[in-house]
Chain A
């Protein structure tokens, strides 16, 4: 490859003494005690890692929490190019195709095939990308549900919505009774949130047809979702400020926002951002499009993946499997990191017997969550999710600011995604 030759010439030209370079040969792990590097961001995950280190002193895992989500994907891509990445990383589901197509992730099917049965089918399909290889072990999932301020719902005489029509009505009623409060906000900053809602409606953004990709971000189901929220924003029934800002934090704290369409990991965020409202929130299933067949989507959710450049693949795979299937490890993930495990057994396990600390009154929080999780739609992610997400932020942000309809913005996202795939040489049908 030309690039390789150029790089080698450069290195020779520099004439510097080479320090240890990563000469990976794949295949056999080296003998003797080794260290595995692990890039992750889940809160307190280092405590879980400490447990592994205590029982496996010859294969210590060294953690680094330098970036999260998309930032981490970026770093994995750049470090893979340079051959200086970690052995393991926490990777969100939607980033897997991007990393696999850049040959960053190792196929661990030799070691992981045994644990396929531990995870729901929809989840496992996302780590195999529909093929024979296994590119990551599922860690946690993010089925979406609806959170609301139970005390304020009572104060304003609101009923908990079970369908999206009811949600709209409740939003309007709230506005008429309390003009300075909102039932929720539409965030142009959180494409994952919108993707989850599109999944619930039956949207299917990417699909594979032979060796051609098909992109249908603006399919009928997603348009329905965009049009719905567009209407709510236009009539002022919901707020339009982005989530995860100081502004939004304040709104959660002082009751300007009394509801949040979010996912199962919300208790941790609420506890951190709106600690003063402890015990006043409740959780309910997501409002439905069709009450007779409940579905939900996923927002977030991550996996543990082994890098293809790693020289200790076997040990790394062993750690990844341990982290996500060993009962003790998964229980620790739940209690220390506050994640909702993807492993089926763990979802009904002992660690989830008590409701989360932020929802002390909702005894059946996790059983309800488990029921909701079982209705999660499956989804195929494309090789350029990052591009689609950035296009979403730009297009929807501009539409919100200009006060225009969101459906054309959706078409803009579709167009940008297809253009980018074609420009990279993918065959797009």
Chain B
């Protein structure tokens, strides 16, 4: 029985992998097609205009696409870094100290996950405008730094990865709390913090609604928003399908690269509640 089913599991897995790769494969093939070829050739036959498309993308409005990529890197990189730091700080405090209000703080923070961003968009925008920060890089960065999910992950990880006795020993040695956090706890929490960083990086990179509301100047757009405007040019101008397709492909590559390099830090076992100290 076992041998007869031998190939089936592998097959099922490969079918699943193929399903997940299908649109990606489509985008790779479609990126090689010129505008005319996109709508006239069979879907998976390669086109001839790969480099031309890339050239067009780069020269679109004097390299605006690469500015968008840089913006995305800024928002996601800085935002995720700050978010990981904040989550680490908060998670450590929630995990290692039993203080009054701990449950309240934690529950309130987690409840933040439940509020849809569409709901918050206009009030956040109005409030940010009130302090004159609308249409600035900060207007996208500041709301992105707080990650309830990241704090949740950091708390679990801090609880599991930083033993109480180590902290206690450091205290006995006379170290201040800040010192303990920085020199003792933080190094132990690195894998968890990298997870939070990666998670928040993807979330910010892929975020569409927040920058859409906050930003007016399209030079500050992240790449998701930029691609959206390429497609929604209105009735009187043609949609820039080819550019959007090549742009989509290029915009996904950094994320893939990031994951492949940081793969071994991806400690998603935090979520499963199965972390062993």
A/B contact in complex, CB under 8 angstroms: yes
Interface positions of A (Cβ within 8 A of B) = 7, 10-11, 14, 16, 18-22, 37, 39, 41-43, 46, 64-69, 71, 75, 78-79, 81-86, 142, 190, 192, 244, 246, 249-250, 253-254, 263, 265, 268-269, 271-276, 299-300, 339
Kindly state the separation between the CA atoms of A46 and B61 in the bound complex, as whole angstroms: 9
Interface positions of B (Cβ within 8 A of A) = 35-36, 39-40, 61, 122, 125-135, 213, 215-219, 221, 229, 232-241
* Contact between chains at B238 and A268 (CB < 8 Å): yes
Kindly state the separation between the CA atoms of A18 and B133 in the bound complex, as whole angstroms: 9
* Contact between chains at B238 and A78 (CB < 8 Å): no
Most buried by A among B35, B125, B130, B221: B130
* Contact between chains at A14 and B131 (CB < 8 Å): yes
Nearest 8 CB-CB pairings of A with B: A272-B238, A82-B129, A68-B234, A84-B134, A19-B132, A66-B218, A250-B39, A276-B36
Contacts of A254 in B (CB 8 A): 39-40
> What's the A-B contact tally at a CB cutoff of 8 Å?
119
A82 CB contact (under 8 Å) in B39, B126, B236:
B126
Contacts of B135 in A (CB 8 A): 84
* Contact between chains at A66 and B131 (CB < 8 Å): no
CB distance from B159 to the nearest CB of A (A): 34
Contacts of B39 in A (CB 8 A): 246, 249-250, 253-254, 274
Kindly state the separation between the CA atoms of A66 and B217 in the bound complex, as whole angstroms: 7
Contacts of B36 in A (CB 8 A): 253, 275-276
Q: A41-B237, A82-B125, A275-B35 are in contact. Are A19 and B131 (CB under 8 A)?
A: yes
A253 CB contact (under 8 Å) in B40, B61, B122:
B40
* Contact between chains at A64 and B132 (CB < 8 Å): no
Kindly state the separation between the CA atoms of A78 and B127 in the bound complex, as whole angstroms: 12
Q: Closest chain B residue to A189 by CB distance?
A: B235
* Contact between chains at A78 and B122 (CB < 8 Å): yes
* Contact between chains at B236 and A339 (CB < 8 Å): yes
* Contact between chains at A276 and B40 (CB < 8 Å): yes
Kindly state the separation between the CA atoms of A254 and B233 in the bound complex, as whole angstroms: 23
CB distance from A42 to the nearest CB of B (A): 8
Contacts of A14 in B (CB 8 A): 127, 130-131
Contacts of A250 in B (CB 8 A): 39-40
* Contact between chains at B229 and A244 (CB < 8 Å): no
* Contact between chains at A272 and B237 (CB < 8 Å): yes
Q: A64-B219, A254-B39 are in contact. Are A82 and B130 (CB under 8 A)?
A: yes
CB distance from B207 to the nearest CB of A (A): 16
Contacts of A190 in B (CB 8 A): 235
Kindly state the separation between the CA atoms of A38 and B105 in the bound complex, as whole angstroms: 44
Contacts of A300 in B (CB 8 A): 235-236
Kindly state the separation between the CA atoms of A16 and B132 in the bound complex, as whole angstroms: 10
5 interchain pairs, CB-CB under 8 A? A10-B127, A11-B130, A249-B241, A271-B238, A275-B36
Kindly state the separation between the CA atoms of A268 and B240 in the bound complex, as whole angstroms: 12
Contacts of B128 in A (CB 8 A): 82
CB distance from A71 to the nearest CB of B (A): 7
Kindly state the separation between the CA atoms of A83 and B60 in the bound complex, as whole angstroms: 31
Q: A19-B131, A142-B236 are in contact. Are A85 and B125 (CB under 8 A)?
A: no
Contacts of B233 in A (CB 8 A): 41, 43, 68
CB distance from A258 to the nearest CB of B (A): 15
Contacts of A18 in B (CB 8 A): 131-132
Kindly state the separation between the CA atoms of A139 and B60 in the bound complex, as whole angstroms: 25
Kindly state the separation between the CA atoms of A381 and B42 in the bound complex, as whole angstroms: 45
CB distance from B11 to the nearest CB of A (A): 32
Most buried by A among B125, B127, B235: B235
B217 CB contact (under 8 Å) in A21, A64, A192, A246:
A64
* Contact between chains at A269 and B130 (CB < 8 Å): no
Contacts of A19 in B (CB 8 A): 131-133
Kindly state the separation between the CA atoms of A68 and B218 in the bound complex, as whole angstroms: 12
* Contact between chains at A83 and B241 (CB < 8 Å): no
Contacts of B240 in A (CB 8 A): 272
Contacts of B213 in A (CB 8 A): 78
A71 CB contact (under 8 Å) in B40, B134, B232, B239:
B232
CB distance from A226 to the nearest CB of B (A): 20
CB distance from A341 to the nearest CB of B (A): 13
Kindly state the separation between the CA atoms of A11 and B127 in the bound complex, as whole angstroms: 8
Kindly state the separation between the CA atoms of A337 and B216 in the bound complex, as whole angstroms: 22
Most buried by A among B40, B61, B134, B219: B134
* Contact between chains at B236 and A265 (CB < 8 Å): yes
* Contact between chains at A66 and B237 (CB < 8 Å): no
Most buried by A among B125, B126, B237: B237
CB distance from A308 to the nearest CB of B (A): 16
* Contact between chains at A269 and B131 (CB < 8 Å): no
* Contact between chains at B235 and A79 (CB < 8 Å): no
Kindly state the separation between the CA atoms of A339 and B234 in the bound complex, as whole angstroms: 13
* Contact between chains at A269 and B40 (CB < 8 Å): no
Kindly state the separation between the CA atoms of A75 and B135 in the bound complex, as whole angstroms: 12
Contacts of A265 in B (CB 8 A): 236
Q: Closest chain A residue to B239 by CB distance?
A: A244
